Structure 1
Amino acid sequence: METRIALVGIVVENKDSAKRINDILHEYGAYIVGRMGIPYPKRNVSVISIVMDAPSDTISALSGKLGMIPHVNIKTVYSKLASNTDK
C-alpha cells in the first residue's frame, strides 16, 4: 500500500475541543509517527503538530474530521514522495 509522510498542524482556540481532538487522534494512532503539543497561554491557544505515515485517503479523512470541530484550525502538508511499504 502506498503511503505518504504528512504534517498536520492544528491550532486549538478552545480547550473544550480537546477531548474530540484526542478521540480522533486515538482512532488514527496506528498511522501517527509523532505528536507534539504546545500550550500558548498568552494567546489562549494550543498548537499541536502530528506527523503521519499513511495512505493519502487516511490523512485526508483525519484532516477532514479535525477540521469539522468548532474552534479548531488545521493545515496539512504532504511530502512530495510517496513510498511503497509492500516491497
Structure 2
Amino acid sequence: METRIALIGIIVENTNEASKLNSILHEYGEYIVGRMGVPYNKRHISVISVVVDAPNDVISAISGKLGMLPGVNTKTIYSKVSPQVE
C-alpha cells in the first residue's frame, strides 16, 4: 500500500474538544511520525502540527474527523516526495 508524508495543521479554539481530539490522534497513532502542540494563551487557542506517513484515505479520515469537531479547524498539506510502497 502506498503511503505519503503529510502535515495536518490543527487550530483548537474550543479546548473542551481536547479529549476527543486526542482520542482521534491515538486511534491513528501507528501513522503519526511526530506531533507538536503550542498553546497560545493570549488568544485562548492551541496550534498543533501532526506529521503522518499514511495512505491517502487514512490521512483524509484523520483530517476529516478532526475537522468535524466543534471549534477545531484543520488543513492538510502533502509532501511532493514520491509515495512509498510498504
**Residue-pair matches, total:** 86
Extract structure 1 runs of 4+ deviating beyond 2 A. Answer: 81-86
The aligned counterpart of 1:82 is: 82
Amino acid corresponding to residue 22 of structure 1 in structure 2: N
Structure 1 unaligned regions, length at least 5:
none
The aligned counterpart of 1:48 is: 48
CA RMSD, 1 decimal: 0.9
Q: Could you tell me the percent identity over the aligned residues?
A: 66
Give the 5 Å matches for 1:1-20. 1-20=1-20
- Deviation track 1:7-42 (CA, whole Å, cap 9, x = no partner) reads 000000011010010000000000000000000000
Q: What is the alpha-carbon distance in structure 1 between the residues aligned to residue 84 and residue 10 of structure 2?
A: 27
Scaled by the length of structure 2, the TM-score of the pair is 0.96
Q: What is the alpha-carbon distance in structure 1 between the residues aligned to residue 84 and residue 37 of structure 2?
A: 29
The answer on 1:38 being equivalent to 2:38 is yes
Deviates more, 1:53-62 or 1:73-82: 73-82
